[in-house]
Structure 1
Amino acid sequence: MPPPRRKRKAASYEPRRRSPSRLEFRATVDGAWYEARVAVQCGALRVMYEEFLEEQDEWYDPAGLATSSAWDVVKLRARFRVPSTPLEDTQCRDLQAGARLCVSCSLDGGDLKFYDAILDSVYPAAHEIVDGMERCACRFAVQWSDGPRAGSMEEVGIERVCCVQSSPVQDPVLMEFLDGVTKLAGDANVETVSQEIHVAPVVKGGVPANALQTRHRDFNGKFGPASRQAV
């Protein structure tokens, strides 16, 4: 596996008022989940993918979002969540059918990306003790919710499973930006928009004229929302 592609040092636009926190972001190019950080620079929201080059950052222009509709703001907000956590070897007994998971998906060409899935059932197996540590040998039947295998079933091992967290996103920079754009876009029935978000088209990222020019590229899929990788 090639070494991680480190991000080059970002150009200086505006001083950050707060240290950026780590989030999970559903990319527009492939619908997979990636670790990311956010910052507001030149008035625009910059989404910076962890372990990827600056050219793959996404920009969202508040003016463009505000002049479209409140739908786009709600859809963008739904693309962020707190990072999923790897399922620990001692936690398999706690999983219940219907649990929402984020699972690594091995694609053609060796790409590894993370997509959401729903737990169908757990096939228990005796755990082993390796170097004094408990190792789970159970198998997990999941139904893919997103990605190229959406709707299909697959049986996976614990090394591929992460648990989606229900905690709300509390990143102050992101919340301030989205709340401000929501006010600009005007009032809307947010509850109705949220219920229908899964059928809405993807919002495009706007790039401010005086910011670093970027364009979306296909990711090589070697990194996902958790440090655990499939083997």
Structure 2
Amino acid sequence: MPPKRNPAAASPQPCGIDFRASDDDGWYGVQLCVERGDGDGRRLRVMYCDFPEVCDETFTSGGFADEEDLEEFSRRFRASSGQLQDWECGEVVEGMTVCASYAFGEGDVRFYDAVVEEVCFSDHKIIEGDEVCTCTFVLLWQHGPNAGRKTSTGIEHVCLLKQRSKLIDPALDLFLELSRKSIKSAGQGSCKFYIILKLGPGLRFTCVQSLTSL
């Protein structure tokens, strides 16, 4: 998990993709690049936006057990969610999943997925000519320290998820393809042979042994 945000530690970077960190399950804006790894392998560098380089994470193309493991990893990436605007509150309905922020302390604000349990609409205010939403949203948190709990929040803490496109980021797409090839190659390197021993009429013993090419 990246340390708490320190604005002086890095310059702001434009981010169009979010990554759910494995340590705290929070969503963070990131940039991605594919680098040469050990041997013929490649690695994906996940660079957290507005965090120092020491917070970067790397993943190797040969580090996934199978397709299911890789698919679970790919679901940790998605297009960056958009802040819900005051005039958009009507788009939020019960049962939909949103990305919402929660403050755990001063300067410690993190984003997690939550399901909208209830929308409490109220008349909007006009302040200095601008429309201000005063509705509240009851959220059931899906990840993080509040997972399974319900809290109420205002529109300023709610972000709308974007539809997942097939190609989220060229670097991610390339890394996933290389990882699939690595999994397929590892699978072709293993084979099984069977030894059947006849022990008598109607009886036999089957021995299964696996060989893995080095």
State how many pairs are aligned.
Answer: 174
Calculate the TM-score normalised by the size of structure 1. 0.70
Matches of residues 170-209 of structure 1 in structure 2 within 5 Å? 170=167, 171-186=169-184
- The separation in 1 between residues aligned to 2:91 and 2:171, in whole angstroms, is 34
User: Structure 1 residues 136 and 172 mapped into 2: Cα distance closer, same or farther (>3 Å)?
Assistant: same
Partners of 1:23 and 1:82 within 8 A in 2: yes
Partners of 1:82 and 1:169 within 8 A in 2: no
Equivalent residue number for residue 155 of structure 1: 152
- The separation in 2 between residues aligned to 1:87 and 1:44, in whole angstroms, is 35
Equivalent residue number for residue 38 of structure 1: 32
Q: Which of the residues 136, 139, 142 maps onto 1:142?
A: 139
1:195-219 residue CA offsets vs partner (Å, 9 max, x unmatched): xxxxxxxxxxxxxxxxxxxxxxxxx
Partners of 2:15 and 2:29 within 8 A in 1: no
Matched residue of 2:54: which SS? helix
List alignment gaps of at least 5 residues for structure 2. Answer: 37-41, 186-214
List alignment gaps of at least 5 residues for structure 1. Answer: 9-19, 188-231
Calculate the TM-score normalised by the size of structure 2. 0.75
Matched residue of 1:7: which SS? coil
Q: How much does 1:155 deviate? A: 0.5
Partners of 1:80 and 1:169 within 8 A in 2: no
Partners of 2:98 and 2:161 within 8 A in 1: yes
Q: How much does 1:81 deviate? A: 0.2
Partners of 2:62 and 2:183 within 8 A in 1: no
- The separation in 2 between residues aligned to 1:48 and 1:162, in whole angstroms, is 22
Equivalent residue number for residue 208 of structure 2: none
**Higher relative contact order structure (alpha carbons within 8 Å, sequence separation ≥ 6):** 1
User: Structure 1 residues 90 and 109 mapped into 2: Cα distance closer, same or farther (>3 Å)?
Assistant: closer
Equivalent residue number for residue 193 of structure 1: none
- The separation in 2 between residues aligned to 1:183 and 1:103, in whole angstroms, is 36
Q: 69-78 vs 138-147, which deviates more?
A: 69-78
- The separation in 2 between residues aligned to 1:174 and 1:71, in whole angstroms, is 17
- The separation in 2 between residues aligned to 1:164 and 1:181, in whole angstroms, is 27
Structure (1 or 2) with the larger CA radius of gyration: 2
